[in-house]
A and B are shown apart, each in its own frame.
Chain A
Amino acid sequence: MQARKLKAIAKKELRELIKERPVLFGLILGPLIMYIIMGGAAAAATSSMAKQAIAPPRVAIVYKGGEPDNITLLLAKTIHAPVFNESVSPTSLLDMGYEFVIIINQSLSATISLGKQAPITVYYKPKSLGWFSLNRPKIVESLLDRALLNATAVILKKYMPDITPEFLQKPARIQLYYYHNGRAMSQSQVAGLVMGVSLAIPLAILTTAVAATQVAAISMGVEKEAKTLEKLLTLPISREELLLGKLLAVTVLALGGVASYMAGLYTYFAMLSHSYSSVGTGQVSFQFTVPMGALLVTGVGLTLTLYASIVIGFIVGSQAQDVRGSQLASGYTTMILAVPLFIMFFGIDPTQLSTTVKAVLAVDPYALLGIASSASINGYASLAMLSLLGLLAHDAFWTLAAARLLDAESMIIGHPLLRRLSRALAKRRTS
């Protein structure tokens, strides 16, 4: 394999493809426009979400240390919550249907009397993990703050100790835990999960893999439409060199597209954050912590998926007649492959799926990457590794498929199987 020839093919591809309108609009301008529209839609959706978040929560209080004190009773009355003693476990209350369980220690009154912030633990069991679940606890936090301020007003009047301004604003320091699938998780973990699983990963997959499939398919479509494929296939280069040269060019373009998507995503988040602050339901923090291992798994998975996507694009594009055909074929292919990912986007936790469903999803490289990322974020190392192995198997399978399907004859006159299929369809239409 000669580097000079590879460079020549890759350079030719880049120069030709970058000026193709479908590539320019689909990869560079499309994402920017799409995210700006998405940002507007998200702003509208946020207003509606804020109204939902105001729905009264079902809250229970667990008081640790004998009979509840006056502040706790006053708090319970203000937020309409029953008070249980410490013999009742918070998780059993959550399983009984309470959305929030507030744990109050005996030391609450004493701490507040000293003008210090009192630590309060709150457990929240969301119906499902999603954007809504990140915003909802703000309602309870706000209620708690107000109720505790009222409850401590009397104490403040009596003693007037040297209190801090922070205390005046928030007498309690709330430690929030999410209770999901039998596990307690911190807010940052949930934010990471929601961001990672529900948004960032599907978007990363869609931005890189889908764009790469599209460009790879268009690259073949351009050759077909311009009738340059036959000449190209008779040049003294091996099929591997030809495809590798194209793969290099497509990867460069796909990465350019990713940069554009990221710029669009940044705008989208900026609009989303602004809309959150403007509706007054409390800001959702986009800062989250994803373990390095999970980032590594996602990076490796994305690379493996990118390769499979480009090869799929070449195969699909090679069977189309022109650029439009290659766009359509790759569009339908990526749409089918992206469906499970979109379902994950709307709140299904892929790690909780049954083995059968996971096995079915393994035929889809995009879904496998979703599972790998989600599993690594949630600490299911073996599932993450298994998914990466699945992606490796995908790469091997698609390489073998390309070796069989991308011979000169199939590219020029179509694969015999597809020819038979189209003939059968034509016969059916005629009859």
Chain B
Amino acid sequence: MPAPAILVEDLYKSYDEVRALNGVSFQVGEGEIYGLIGPNGAGKTTTLRIIAGLLRPDEGRVLVLGHDPFKEPVRVKKAISYLPEEAGVYKNLTGEYFLRFIAEIYSDSPREAEEMVERGAELSGLGERLRSPMKTYSKGMKRRLLLAATLMTNPRVAILDEPTSGLDVYNSVLMRNAIREYARNSNATILLSSHNMLEVEYLCDRVAFIDHGVIIAEGTPGELLERYGAVNLEEAFVKAVGGGITYAGSKA
């Protein structure tokens, strides 16, 4: 069995008195699109930040492509690309300059950087607006640019935290299509978190439900629907979490 692209084992993490992760474990295979679903404060962002090497776990271990992000940070960072949930932009820079900046950091030669910028410009779909300062961009434009900057570097592992959060339907669809297209063409591993169950159902090969810092269920969308006798992942999630909440759309 090939080594997983992402291995997460028994992660614990507390912020002072608040326990964010309570023993999270999962594996993501190479070329797989894996979704973490959970409510606010469930531990999705903390998990992704630990995998990206931004936060240290109190206990447990993480391997990305077989490497520890805390022992070999630059090696892991070179292979991954991370889109934070609330990522912002440099308001005084143009979109094109931002893409160039990211490309220069990831590339090994000016030619490679130029190719990345071209790819990023195409992925963003912003056209001439790339030459405007980013403070003039709408939320959707910023998010599309950030996704383009994340994927143009051809990462072997892309970590996307709530990629379509707060976007309108049009921009959400554009983002989802870009992610799916990239996954199909690159065979990259994608780990994403979302509140949006429909999005996860559309994009992900496998899904994990996370609540109160614990993975409560894991499987393909089809397996989860079957296990909980649900019509969609939203209903399956509500049933998995329990706690007296009834899904309004569920069958009697």
Main secondary structure of the interface of A (DSSP, over half): helix
**Is A67 close to B, CB under 8 A?**
no
Interface flags, B66-97, vs A, CB<8A=1, else 0: 00000001100110111110111111110001
Q: Is B55 an interface residue (CB 8 A)?
A: yes
8 A Cβ contacts from A19-70 to B: 19-20
Interface pair A227/B52, CB less than 8 Å apart: no
Chain A interface size band reads 20 to 34
Closest B residue, CB atoms, query A11 = B101
Evaluate contact between A235 and B105: CB separation under 8 angstroms.
yes
Q: Select which of B74, B82, B83, B149 is within 8 A of A237 by beta carbon.
A: B74
Interface string of B141-152 (1 = CB under 8 A from A): 000001001000
B104 in the interface, Cβ–Cβ < 8 Å?
yes
Is A236 positioned at the interface, with any CB of B under 8 Å from its CB? yes
CB of B16 within 8 A of CB of A423, answer yes
Q: Does A419 contact B (CB under 8 A)?
A: yes
The complex places the Cα of A237 from the Cα of B76 at a distance, in Å, of 11
- Chain B interface mostly: mixed
From B16, B77, B86, B93, A12 is in contact (CB under 8 Å) with: B93
CB closest chain-B residue, reference A5: B105
In angstroms, Cα B84 to Cα A235, docked, is 12
Of A11, A230, A423, the contact of B82 (CB 8 Å cutoff): A230
A428 sits at the interface (CB 8 A): no
B82 and A231 form a contact (CB under 8 A): yes
- Check B104 against A5 for contact (C-beta < 8 Å): yes
Q: Decide: A20 and B90 in contact? CB cutoff 8 A.
A: no
Q: Produce 1/0 per residue, A216-227, CB < 8 A to B.
A: 000000100111
| B106:A235 contact, CB within 8 angstroms | yes
Q: How far is the CA of A18 from the CA of B91 in the complex (A)?
A: 12
Contact A226 B73 (CB under 8 A): no
Interface residues of A in 278-320 (CB under 8 A from B): none
Q: Is the CB of A230 within 8 A of B55?
A: no
A228 is contacted by which of B54, B56, B78, B88 (Cβ under 8 Å)? B88
Bound-complex Cα distance A177 to B155 (A): 75
**Interface positions of A from 390 to 431, Cβ below 8 Å from B:** 408-409, 412-413, 416, 419-420, 423
A-B contact pairs, 12 of them (CB 8 A): A5-B104, A8-B104, A12-B90, A16-B92, A222-B90, A225-B88, A226-B89, A226-B90, A234-B54, A408-B53, A420-B16, A423-B16
Q: Which 4 A-B pairs have the closest CB atoms?
A: A227-B88, A8-B104, A19-B92, A236-B78
